[in-house]
Structure 1
Amino acid sequence: MAASNYTASNLSVLEGLEAVRKRPGMYIGSTDSRGLMHCLWEIIDNSVDEALAGYGQNIQIILHKDGSVEVQDDGRGVPTDIEPRTGLSGVEVVYTKLHAGGKFGGGSYTASGGLHGVGASVVNALSSRLDVHVDRGGKTYQMSFRHGVPGIFDDGRTPKPDNAFSTAGDPLQVVGKAKRGVTGTRVRYWADPMIFTPDAKFSYADLTARARQTAFLIPGLRIAIRDDRRLPGTPGENESFEEVFQHDGGIGEFVEYLAHDTSVTDIWRFTGRETFTETVPVLDGKGHSKLTEVERECEVDIALRWGIGYETTLRTFVNIIATPKGGTHQTGFEQGLLKTFRKHLTDNARKFKVGANEKIEKDDVLAGLTAVLTVRLAEPQFEGQTKEILGTPAVRQIVSQVVAKQLADKLKATARADKTQATQLSEKVVAEMKSRVSARVHKETQRRKNALETSSMPTKLVDCRTTDVEKSELFIVEGDSALGTARLARSSTYQALLPIRGKILNVQKASITDMLANTECAAIIQVIGAGSGRSFDLDSRRYDKIVMMTDADVDGAHIRTLLLTLFYRYMRPLVEAGKIYAAVPPLHRVEVVHRGKPNEMVYTYTEQELHQLLASLEAEGKSYKEPIQRYKGLGEMDADQLAETTMDPRHRMLRRVRVSDAEAAERAFTLLMGSEVAPRKDFIIRGAHKLDAAAIDV
């Protein structure tokens, strides 16, 4: 277009919610399932903010069969009176005006987690229909919207987005009476299929995770989720399914839920409240912005405990908003911990054998720590629009002082139980420091070098010749008999073999010391060559692929589980990088008879696959030799068969092990491999009816 033709008439002015429908990604990030869930969080957060402010104790979320979702609460109810500046009802203002609500310093909320008035109106704009019911002042009010425009639907028996719709008349209607003292808001909406992608769906797993987290953060809040969709793969696929989340123990119970290792300390609670001042722009009576110094109050609540492990689980929140990337509150927390431990260990250097030149670092203190840190304050400053990092500077010093004072009291406690825990914790921190220093001094720098240097490796390792890590593979083989066959079947250029004897140590129950003392575990760590635990260095590994090659039976599955537990607990970066694989050996070999030419060998990997093969051979009029060979172990194969089916990259099948949800994997390992027997027994009893007795290898 020529410059002379570019005039004011070429400019577009998008008013109200029209801008949201035109550019939804600017407001909810995306229009897939993630954006769909973002909309739901906004509606839920409005109800949560009511509970956070002390109004209401119940929230119910219903996933309807028709694709709509409903959120109910017993808060104060959205105001229904007229807002003087717009002349509209409070309900219409909240659901049609951007940047409108009670969270802008008017005193309605001292701390809130919503998007400051953008959320409800954005959800309304992106819905083909949204209905609001408000119980307030003894009456039940209703207002409906289509694409963000208020009006009245002619519903008949069933509310639907495509029912007849009229914008005539007052859209806020009184539709019934509310019991005396009953207040609350019910919002039901249908996401607009013209906005969201066809595969966008509400995630039940994400919803329950968020509900559980919120219930921990607001003690006494009851959140019920009902799924009426009957979707395959969900808990409610056969019938309507409802779960209720209520945790009166608050963040102390949250820490107990997150922690999986054996405890060193009890769950400790640190709380405090301090005031601070900050200069912020404030609107005067004429609407002019003026820098004003205001006094704020910051409330700190921390629950924490240390366990015997080395991993750190730290969850931080501001006004129940998760801040996964931390911020000033997390900085203050870590600063308070480190400062207090350094002083305590310096004062007790002789008792804990701490040298003058030995200095603990943050990682030494955080090892084995599980903590939930929450702060509440009005109008927190966040870095960026995603609210992932708290930026309010004064919070750092407040949190640091609360932690330093109350942790020091714990470490100096004279009661027998507290004193014992303080001593054990201090010894653990010192041990972590010494381990870190030792690892730095003696860190293995071995990559693949040459075959002559493998003399320092375990004698049972059958190494390969290549010096290129990216092309090398390590097969962990079950037993010496399988090793003999695998040695002949492998390509010695790039495939190494490490036999293990039977079932290795269950490291989920054992301490680090016991794990390192175990011959098989120590050999695996040494051969992989990247260290273990906190000192693990993925780039130092000696092999690119680690392949577990065990028998295709129950014992083989048990050994794979034990190996995976070792990798997940002590070499997790290998799993996260997709470097761990499970070989898939065949279960059967069928020799198909061909007249006039050599017979054909066909391998099957499951009973179902075998039956399908035999049925197809019968249909084609082909015969096969009896009996069909059933492999009970890798040692029963000859080298050619093992190479062809399991080791040769041209023909083999490998299963890559990934950790798509680290927390879910952690809980599964704890349930199946941990020291708590009762939950495992319940799991077995619940799943017993699904077991095919014929599949048990006895």
Structure 2
Amino acid sequence: MPSPAKSTIGKPATESRDYEARHLLVLEGLEAVRKRPAMYIGSTDTRGLMHCVWEIIDNAVDEALAGSGNEILVTLGADGSVSVQDHGAGIPVDIEPRTGLSGVEVVFTKLHAGGKFGAGSYNATGGLHGVGASVVNALSSRLDVEVDRKSATWGMSFRRGVPGTFDGPGPDAKFTAGGGLQKLGKAKRGATGTRITYWPDRSIFLKDAQLSIEELHARARQTSFLVPGLALVVTDDRGPETSVEKFLHDGGITEFCEFLAPDRAISDVIRLQGQSRFTETVPMLDDSGAMTPTDVERDLDVDIAIRWGEGYQTMVQSYVNIIRTPKGGTHVTGFERALTKTFTEVMRGTRLLKNGDEVIKDDVQEGMTAVVTVRLAEPQFEGQTKEVLGTPPVAALVQKTVAAELKSFLTSTKREAKTQARAVMEKVVSASRSRVAARQHREAQRRKNALESSTLPPKLKDCRSNDVDSTELFIVEGDSALGTAQRARNGDTQALLPIRGKILNVQKASVGDMLKNAECASIIQVVGAGSGRNFDPDAARYGKIIFMADADADGAHIRCLLATLFFRYMRPLIDAGRVYTAVPPLHRFELTNPKKGQPKYIYTYSDAEYQRKAAELTKKNIRFSEPQRYKGLGEMDANQLSETTMNPRHRTLRRITVDDAILAETTFEMLMGNDVAPRKEFIIDGAYALDAATIDA
């Protein structure tokens, strides 16, 4: 039996392990980057690979922001290289006195080295920490840089951060360490700029990490909006054919806001702009080498583009010195606080908001698209990836600017602005009331006892199967059709929900009125997936929703009302292709003496088809009794309804789809909305195109 292990608790560490100063690892220069790359670029997958591209591009954009150059060329090479060229001032090529190295070598080999620390040549920039270029260099198997400056072209190469020379093209060429910046030749007089080509070190990045042309296009488009007049040309040489995309937008963030908006506008794009100054205490290195807290004056430029649309989706993108901050920060916090507070204050003054009512952030931001940008020197970001702005004074200053500018818009006396402001405030009030109504509805549901809350409407004739993919819900017009449909259905997979005539037109009604309507509430409850922004298509109880109404004008109106309800409050089902209309027949031919293999009954589904079928039977000398015309679903017996409309083997269904969301929104609003004039014009135009002889009266 082995003896028990001896305890080491309370004994000197030398008895359990050998740990001395010689075991400490000191990472110098760029070794730390290669050892812990995720600390600098976030990860070593595609996201980190693309972050290296952003670092080089952002440096080029900073040149444009400083007033040097208006074009950036980005190329993805067939050999895996990335090339970025700008016409900026060019990296300094003279000797940096402290290190004795050229400015180019300092920028690409020394962490926290650059021209963007404090009061230098740059003010509000995207590059702040002086590590971008050197990190990319450390993580590249080869990096070549050429600089046009002082009427000459200068060049230098690196391998994994080490300066040297290559005897050929590409990262696999023989490399000799040593050597500094070389003068390659003459440049055009006055020409300046930087060209950087690098090959990511595939030993650092994961095997499946790939350069994404889609992300590159999106970033270039975003930058062209944020820096009006700057052209970014992206070339992809990796495929069989070279693709070239140019991004140039002179409209700035106003145009960007319109580009991002997913719905039809109810207001123009509003610009909220202002300038402020604040004092920030930062540690500064004094002459003796000590860090001393020093008060520094900072300028803050706020520029926000905002608009509201008819939809429910909220789209807010924020930027600091053209750098995207996907997780927000103090600038977004100040923006959101000002929105809620200003709308509440103004609407109470205009009596749109009644006593006891409240407006929260979600109400104001429903249907809102905004681009929030601020510019300031040396912003405090959380990490090199710059996803969150942390500079504390920015929140209050942005809030002050937004509150003043937004209040000016909401209280404007100019006719057009006043009309738009009123429409926006009414939308916010409607969102607030809808939220309250939905909350009250949920609370009412909770107050029901367990038995009541677990039961569905008694008029629902449910199916037995729980397999959503195979089940169907028929929404049937009228009780008379329900009786026939109940005998005609397949009870295993087909459920029936009768409705009484025409349901509420939800395009005109509020959410509260919709929830109070018995028919609409029953449909939403039976579908079982909620409504509006909280709708979850995965929770729907049936795989198909089928409208089954008479084949006449009233039936068409009922189908239109149902389609409006689903489009407005359960649209994901339509987007997924799960909503249909049944196609019942209009006529039935009964053959008096059918031949073998010939059906006794023939159904037609339109007047034109009826005429063709009657002529065909007459021509073939096939006798038939007087055709029957169905005035409604209730006139069919169960066998006929099953064979023609409900049996999947024989029926015809029309799927309701949305190919153009904006056109669909416009059409529903025209046909079902409150504005009568466009609907009247549509009816009059259609009347002239109608053949009076085809009217069934």
| TM-score normalized by the length of structure 1 | 0.71
- Are the structure 2 counterparts of residues 485 and 453 from structure 1 closer, same or farther at C-alpha, using a change threshold of 3 Å? closer
Deviations 1:420-468 (A, max 9, x none): 1122222222222222222222237389968993226xx5x543569x9
1:348 counterpart residue number:
350
Which has the higher mean CA deviation after the structures are superposed, 270-279 or 335-344?
Answer: 335-344
Matched ranges for 1:192-207 at <5 A: 192-207=201-216
1:172 counterpart residue number:
181
Of 543, 550, 556, which residue of structure 2 is paired with 1:547?
Answer: 543
Q: Secondary structure at the match of 1:36?
A: helix
1:59 counterpart residue number:
72
Of 13, 17, 24, which residue of structure 1 is paired with 2:37?
Answer: 24
1:208 lines up with 2:239 in the alignment: no
Deviation at 1:331, TM superposition (A): 1.8
Within 2, Cα distance between the matches of 1:162 and 1:567?
A: 60
Letter of the aligned partner of 1:38 in structure 2? H
1:655 counterpart residue number:
none
Within 2, Cα distance between the matches of 1:547 and 1:96?
A: 61
Letter of the aligned partner of 1:161 in structure 2? P
Within 2, Cα distance between the matches of 1:151 and 1:136?
A: 21
Letter of the aligned partner of 2:348 in structure 1? T
Letter of the aligned partner of 2:543 in structure 1? V
- Are the structure 2 counterparts of residues 165 and 451 from structure 1 closer, same or farther at C-alpha, using a change threshold of 3 Å? closer
Within 2, Cα distance between the matches of 1:205 and 1:193?
A: 21
Which has the higher mean CA deviation after the structures are superposed, 89-98 or 378-387?
Answer: 378-387
Asked whether the equivalents of residues 473 and 544 of structure 1 are also in contact (C-alpha less than 8 Å), the reply is no
- Are the structure 2 counterparts of residues 635 and 12 from structure 1 closer, same or farther at C-alpha, using a change threshold of 3 Å? farther
2:26 counterpart residue number:
13
Within 2, Cα distance between the matches of 1:27 and 1:311?
A: 34
2:683 counterpart residue number:
none
Deviation at 1:5, TM superposition (A): 2.8
Letter of the aligned partner of 1:371 in structure 2? A
- Are the structure 2 counterparts of residues 565 and 203 from structure 1 closer, same or farther at C-alpha, using a change threshold of 3 Å? farther
2:196 counterpart residue number:
187
Letter of the aligned partner of 2:205 in structure 1? F
| TM-score normalized by the length of structure 2 | 0.71
Asked whether the equivalents of residues 382 and 391 of structure 1 are also in contact (C-alpha less than 8 Å), the reply is yes
Letter of the aligned partner of 1:390 in structure 2? L
- Are the structure 2 counterparts of residues 496 and 39 from structure 1 closer, same or farther at C-alpha, using a change threshold of 3 Å? farther
Letter of the aligned partner of 2:244 in structure 1? E
Within 2, Cα distance between the matches of 1:144 and 1:542?
A: 55
Matched ranges for 1:93-112 at <5 A: 93-112=106-125
Q: Secondary structure at the match of 1:143?
A: strand
Asked whether the equivalents of residues 32 and 197 of structure 1 are also in contact (C-alpha less than 8 Å), the reply is yes
Deviation at 1:195, TM superposition (A): 1.6
1:651 counterpart residue number:
none
Of 310, 324, 327, which residue of structure 1 is paired with 2:326?
Answer: 324
2:524 counterpart residue number:
525
1:276 counterpart residue number:
278
2:63 counterpart residue number:
50
Asked whether the equivalents of residues 382 and 390 of structure 1 are also in contact (C-alpha less than 8 Å), the reply is yes
Deviations 1:350-385 (A, max 9, x none): xx3x32222222222212211111111111123455
- Are the structure 2 counterparts of residues 151 and 490 from structure 1 closer, same or farther at C-alpha, using a change threshold of 3 Å? farther
1:377 counterpart residue number:
376
Deviation at 1:21, TM superposition (A): 1.9
Within 2, Cα distance between the matches of 1:564 and 1:71?
A: 51
Deviation at 1:222, TM superposition (A): 0.6
Within 2, Cα distance between the matches of 1:253 and 1:428?
A: 23
Asked whether the equivalents of residues 533 and 570 of structure 1 are also in contact (C-alpha less than 8 Å), the reply is yes
Within 2, Cα distance between the matches of 1:118 and 1:53?
A: 19
1:445 counterpart residue number:
445
Deviation at 1:571, TM superposition (A): 5.4
Deviation at 1:412, TM superposition (A): 2.0
- Are the structure 2 counterparts of residues 76 and 544 from structure 1 closer, same or farther at C-alpha, using a change threshold of 3 Å? same
Deviation at 1:392, TM superposition (A): 1.6
Matched ranges for 1:188-587 at <5 A: 188-230=197-239, 238-349=240-351, 352=352, 354-383=353-382, 386-443=385-442, 445=445, 453-455=455-457, 459=459, 461-464=460-463, 475-476=471-472, 491=492, 525-534=524-533, 536=534, 543=539, 547-548=543-544, 570=569
Within 2, Cα distance between the matches of 1:361 and 1:479?
A: 37
Letter of the aligned partner of 1:185 in structure 2? T
Letter of the aligned partner of 2:250 in structure 1? D
- Are the structure 2 counterparts of residues 108 and 670 from structure 1 closer, same or farther at C-alpha, using a change threshold of 3 Å? farther
Deviations 1:147-188 (A, max 9, x none): 111111112xxx1111122224x3311112211221111111
Q: Secondary structure at the match of 1:454?
A: coil
Deviations 1:455-510 (A, max 9, x none): 26xx5x543569x9xx86784568989x9799976756xx867799xxx9999xx7
Within 2, Cα distance between the matches of 1:22 and 1:566?
A: 58
Deviation at 1:574, TM superposition (A): 9.1
Deviations 1:634-683 (A, max 9, x none): 979998989xxxxxxxxxxxxxxxxxxxxxxx9x864785659xxxxxxx
Asked whether the equivalents of residues 268 and 307 of structure 2 are also in contact (C-alpha less than 8 Å), the reply is yes
Within 2, Cα distance between the matches of 1:563 and 1:474?
A: 22
- Are the structure 2 counterparts of residues 449 and 672 from structure 1 closer, same or farther at C-alpha, using a change threshold of 3 Å? farther
Q: Secondary structure at the match of 1:195?
A: coil
1:600 counterpart residue number:
none
Within 2, Cα distance between the matches of 1:325 and 1:464?
A: 46
2:140 counterpart residue number:
127
Deviation at 1:54, TM superposition (A): 2.3
Matched ranges for 1:149-164 at <5 A: 149-155=162-168, 159-164=169-174
Q: How well do the aligned residues superpose, as a CA RMSD in angstroms?
A: 4.3
Paired residues, what number? 563
Deviation at 1:26, TM superposition (A): 2.4
1:597 counterpart residue number:
none
- Are the structure 2 counterparts of residues 311 and 543 from structure 1 closer, same or farther at C-alpha, using a change threshold of 3 Å? closer
Letter of the aligned partner of 2:389 in structure 1? L
Within 1, Cα distance between the matches of 2:565 and 2:350?
A: 36
Deviation at 1:53, TM superposition (A): 2.3
Within 2, Cα distance between the matches of 1:248 and 1:219?
A: 5
Higher Cα Rg: structure 1 or 2?
A: 2
- Are the structure 2 counterparts of residues 32 and 416 from structure 1 closer, same or farther at C-alpha, using a change threshold of 3 Å? same
Asked whether the equivalents of residues 30 and 109 of structure 2 are also in contact (C-alpha less than 8 Å), the reply is yes
Deviations 1:247-268 (A, max 9, x none): 1111000110011322111111
Within 2, Cα distance between the matches of 1:76 and 1:452?
A: 71
- Are the structure 2 counterparts of residues 251 and 570 from structure 1 closer, same or farther at C-alpha, using a change threshold of 3 Å? farther
Deviation at 1:275, TM superposition (A): 0.4
Within 2, Cα distance between the matches of 1:228 and 1:563?
A: 51
Asked whether the equivalents of residues 474 and 498 of structure 1 are also in contact (C-alpha less than 8 Å), the reply is no
Q: Share of identical aligned residues, percent?
A: 54
Within 2, Cα distance between the matches of 1:166 and 1:486?
A: 88
Within 2, Cα distance between the matches of 1:499 and 1:19?
A: 70
Q: Is there any run of 5+ residues in structure 2 with no aligned partner, and where?
A: 1-13, 548-560, 580-641, 651-657, 668-697
Asked whether the equivalents of residues 62 and 226 of structure 1 are also in contact (C-alpha less than 8 Å), the reply is yes
Deviation at 1:113, TM superposition (A): 1.5
Q: Secondary structure at the match of 1:370?
A: strand
Letter of the aligned partner of 1:33 in structure 2? T
Deviation at 1:134, TM superposition (A): 0.7
Within 2, Cα distance between the matches of 1:545 and 1:94?
A: 61
1:74 lines up with 2:87 in the alignment: yes
